[in-house]
Structure 1
Amino acid sequence: MAIQQDVPLAAQVLATIGTICWCVQLLPQIWQNYRRGNCIAFPALTVFIWAISEVPFGAYVIVQDHAMAIQLQPQIFGVLCLVCWGQCLWLSGKCSKLWATFWPFLLAAVMAVGQFLLIWTLRVGYPGRTMPIKVVWAFAAAGLVVGLIPQYVQQFKRQGRNLGFSWGFLAVDLAGALFSFLAMAVRKQFDVFGGTLYLIV
């Protein structure tokens, strides 16, 4: 699991397309929730877990020195997840608009500090060692998978009908993951762990 260097142009282009997709992927979901005036069948827990999982995911791609666009993806996705989480808190009536804004901002600050400390620990405390990076990857992968469980529970309760997720969100999310995976695939050295994160998505 060597640190990635000399990113080819094709990887940069594919990573940029993937990042553009991930910059807007949750916007259709946020719009759908707002238009409906509720987040019924769209679990707040899903986007909360996804937001938290972006801390190790972001640390992993930064420490592995992937293309800058790939490094930005977890940060942008995490912010969008926090926006969606705050929206779910507000529209579900669990919080006032003020508190539904405050909690995501507070969590974003905690996540930023956590990611900084994680990156610093991996670079300074464990330079050149792969096991700590694999552990960080495992937490990121687990968060992405566990975040899906509340949505599957909702679908099970509704006999498999998707009442909460925007199809636009799902399509753009899939495109972002595909282009990002391809960006890793065209590298001279394929990052199996990073590629697997995108396959999980």
Structure 2
Amino acid sequence: MFHNIVAEHVFGTMGTICWTGQLIPQVWKSWREKSTEGLAPLLVLLWGLSGPFLGVYAILYDINIPLIVQPQLFCMLCLISWGQCLYYGSNRSRTTAILITSSVIVTCGVLETIFVLVLRPFHDRGQHTPTDIFGIVASAIIAIALLPQYWEIYKHKEVIGVSMVFISIDFIGAIFNDLSLVFKEELDVIAVVTYSIVVVMDGLVILAAIILNPLARRRRRRQAAQNMVEVVYI
């Protein structure tokens, strides 16, 4: 590979910055609109739950510091967004939503710590299969998580509820993460697959917004014009 430790950490840091701040626009959008309509709760919940799996994999393989820190921040922000879905979308009380969200975040942190402690002796002895399974599970969860969002897009015939700033930053962050891995001394195939899945599936959401949202706006304008004509004739 094109081993370059400076490039590896620069791109890894850029990816981490993106994946740290990516959900802030989504959290802000949901808070500002007091609504999570169009945002699939399963998307942010499953992405949050993928964090411990990806974290265990990154820590045991010691990928690099930025990509080790990243899953922890990603998990927390995803679960905060899920907490908003509980509050705004499922009409849970503020206290209930905060308690449930906090409990899941703490549980994820505790489980990740336990798994790292349990698996490290095996990993250090060269038994990498359990660690690889965690990486594969993370990839699967990340891929599956976007399926409910595709259903929301299909149902509304446009991309609503999802901050396109969030999706775009997520998309760019995954590209930076892939570039960071390219410059490692040894290519981490499972990690590359994980981030590449995000690039492809985020790209489909962005493409859907580019195609469907203008069509939806035109439909609404035509419907508004038709309603005005009906009112005049009545």
TM-score bracket, shorter-length normalisation: over 0.9
User: In 1, distance between residues paired with 2:192 and 2:122?
Assistant: 25
Q: Are the aligned partners of 2:4 and 2:183 in contact in 1 as well (CA < 8 Å)? A: no
**Which of 1, 7, 12 is the aligned partner of 1:15?**
12
More contact order relative to length (CA 8 Å, sep ≥ 6):
1
**Which of 143, 146, 162 is the aligned partner of 1:145?**
143
Matches for 1:4-153 after TM superposition, within 5 Å: 8-126=5-123, 127-153=125-151
Instruction: Say what the alpha-carbon RMSD is for the aligned residues.
Output: 1.4
Partner residue in 1 for 2:167: 170
Q: Are the aligned partners of 2:12 and 2:180 in contact in 1 as well (CA < 8 Å)? A: yes
Q: Are the aligned partners of 1:7 and 1:67 in contact in 2 as well (CA < 8 Å)? A: no
Q: Are the aligned partners of 1:51 and 1:79 in contact in 2 as well (CA < 8 Å)? A: yes
User: How many correspondences in the alignment?
Assistant: 195
Comparing 90-99 and 55-64, the one that deviates more: 90-99
User: In 1, distance between residues paired with 2:174 and 2:156?
Assistant: 27
Counterpart secondary structure, 1:148: helix
| TM-score (norm. length: structure 2) | 0.80
Q: Deviations over 1:38-92 (max 9, x none)?
A: 0001011111111111111110011110111100110000000011011111112
1:131 CA drift (Å): 1.5
Comparing 25-34 and 124-133, the one that deviates more: 124-133
Comparing 165-174 and 124-133, the one that deviates more: 124-133
**Which of 148, 161, 184 is the aligned partner of 1:187?**
184
User: In 1, distance between residues paired with 2:113 and 2:138?
Assistant: 15
Q: Are the aligned partners of 1:7 and 1:187 in contact in 2 as well (CA < 8 Å)? A: yes
Q: Which has the larger radius of gyration?
A: 2
Partner residue in 1 for 2:218: none
Q: Are the aligned partners of 2:86 and 2:97 in contact in 1 as well (CA < 8 Å)? A: yes
Q: Which amino acid aligns with 1:12?
A: H
Partner residue in 2 for 1:155: 153
| TM-score (norm. length: structure 1) | 0.93
Counterpart secondary structure, 1:40: coil
User: In 2, distance between residues paired with 1:156 and 1:184?
Assistant: 34
Structure in which a larger fraction of residues adopt helix: 2
Question: Segments of 4+ in structure 1 off by > 3 A?
Answer: none
